[in-house]
A and B are shown apart, each in its own frame.
Chain A
Amino acid sequence: MVLVNGIVVMFLAGGFFFTLVGTIGLLRFPDFYTRLHATGKCDTLGEGLIIVGLMIYHLFHYSETLLVPAKLLFLILFIFIANPTATHAIMKAAYLTGIKPWKLGEERR
């Protein structure tokens, strides 16, 4: 039981680390396109790891209802498809409206 608790805490901590890195990237990068790089990749994996940790916790503590881990698995699949698509949609709208990308050596926007 202690081993399972340790694994769950490890998954939760790893997921929170990637989420924090994504938010720091949102504040620190100099341009709109580079900020989307940080959030589109790190947010998706961070949330995936947190929900996988909670699934493992459920499988070992409440093993009567197996329908809830299936629902959480579907939620993970949906986030892995929907988050990159939303990122791509908003980047395409910005590119076609005329926002210029940032090259090395310019100032922050």
Chain B
Amino acid sequence: MEVGGGEKMKMGGKGFGILLTFCLMFLFWILLSGLFDAFHLISGVICCAIVALISHDLLVKGKGKKILLKSFRLILYIPWELGQIVLANIDVAYRVLHPKMPIDPRIIEFETSLRGDFALVTLANSITLTPGTITISVEPEKGKYWVHAIAKEPADALLVDQTMQKKVADVYMEW
């Protein structure tokens, strides 16, 4: 009974990856074609099945623990990020249109506790889209980021406060 339960959980992880990839591919097929007759739907199912069987490893790595919970938390994280994007653009507009152009660029580096692929990419994208910072380089073994900041206040918001690292670690549960 114990061996049966363990094997079923391992097959469940890989099968779940294939199923998720197939559903996403079929959604894109319907979105891009727009035709709902039998021939196109059946050829869509066949093509999506072949693609999902061959390359489901790229989307869901390994067993994929708790993917639906992480996706749900990601959807909750997006509105905060949209607010930061608008703030970032107003900040850049102020620095560009000011007659004296108050910039003071510097390069900083810091370490985080994130190790997975998706978490590192989400934090790098968020750093590029928030006021005053752009990611230069990432080292995935220790979670180290090199960041170019345009003035002292955005650099302090990233180094001292660390609000964004805490929010991304909450989404992916990698404290």
Contact = CB atoms under 8 A, between A and B. Distances in A.
**A/B contact in complex, CB under 8 angstroms:** yes
Interface of A: 18, 21-22, 24-25, 28-29, 31, 33-34, 36-38, 40-42, 44-45, 65, 67, 70-71, 74, 80-81, 84-85, 87-88, 91-92, 95-96, 101-104
B145 to A, nearest CB: 11
7 contacts: A31-B105, A34-B105, A41-B129, A70-B31, A84-B128, A84-B129, A101-B105
B97 interface: yes
Interface size class of B (residues with CB under 8 A): 20 to 34
Contact of B125 (A85, A91, A102): A85
B3 interface: no
Contacts, number: 88
B47 interface: no
Contacts of A74: 31
Given A21-B97, A101-B107, A41 B135 contact: no
Interface majority SS on A: helix, strand, loop or mixed? helix
A65 B31 CA distance: 12
Given A40-B128, A87-B134, A103 B105 contact: yes
A45 B124 CA distance: 17
A24 B97 CA distance: 8
B92, B97, B135 pick with most chain A CB within 10 angstroms: B92
A102 B97 contact: no
Contacts of A96: 137
Contacts of A81: 125
